[in-house]
Amino acid sequence: MAAGHGEITLVPILSRGRHSNPRRGACFMEYASLLAGVEWSDHPDGTHPLVALVAREVNDEISDAARVELVPMIPSVIGLYPTDPRFAPALVTRCIQLVLPVVSPQFRRTLTDAARRADGPGYAAQAPLVVAGTIRAVTDFRAPYGDRLLLRLLTDAIDLARSYSAVQPTVSAAGRR
């Protein structure tokens, strides 16, 4: 793409893993940082950490042929940072629901137990591990239509984050003054 005065602006190629700069390629979140005009990073501040995790994991697990389908979604995560405390448990639950049908019975029990603990104390620290595990399970268990499922996981994560960005946390009657 011409930038003027003979300069060429390089558009990074979306690929697996971390990249030191756009000339070496970009993962989903690095590309988002570039579009947002912030420091090159696969953990940009403007995106909720769990949404960014889903994006990175899907980027790394999806096939090279299907990765191109991620590109139109990249701008949608810029500034997507729900603060509603119900978002993380809802995202974990959604990821588990989507992946349960494709995993082994033993892993299904593990995921079901994780879903039950989604609102429990200390769960926030476990949420990234559970989300990453559900996404990796798609490829580990060679899920039929794995690329479609990975795209669905990312689309649902983005949609869920949008819905929780628009919703303010409820305050219990006891919490009001």
Q: Is residue 177 part of a domain?
A: no
8 in a structural domain: yes
Residue 174 lies in a domain: no
Q: What is the pLDDT of residues 74-104, one digit of tens each?
A: 999 999 999 999 999 999 999 999 999 999 8
> Does the pLDDT value for residue 28 go beyond 50?
yes
Residue 64 domain flag = yes
Structural domain harbouring 112? 2-169
**100 is a domain residue:** yes
Count: domains in the chain: 1
Which has the closest alpha carbon to 34: 159, 24, 174?
24
pLDDT tens per residue across span 135-158: 999 998 888 899 999 999 999 999
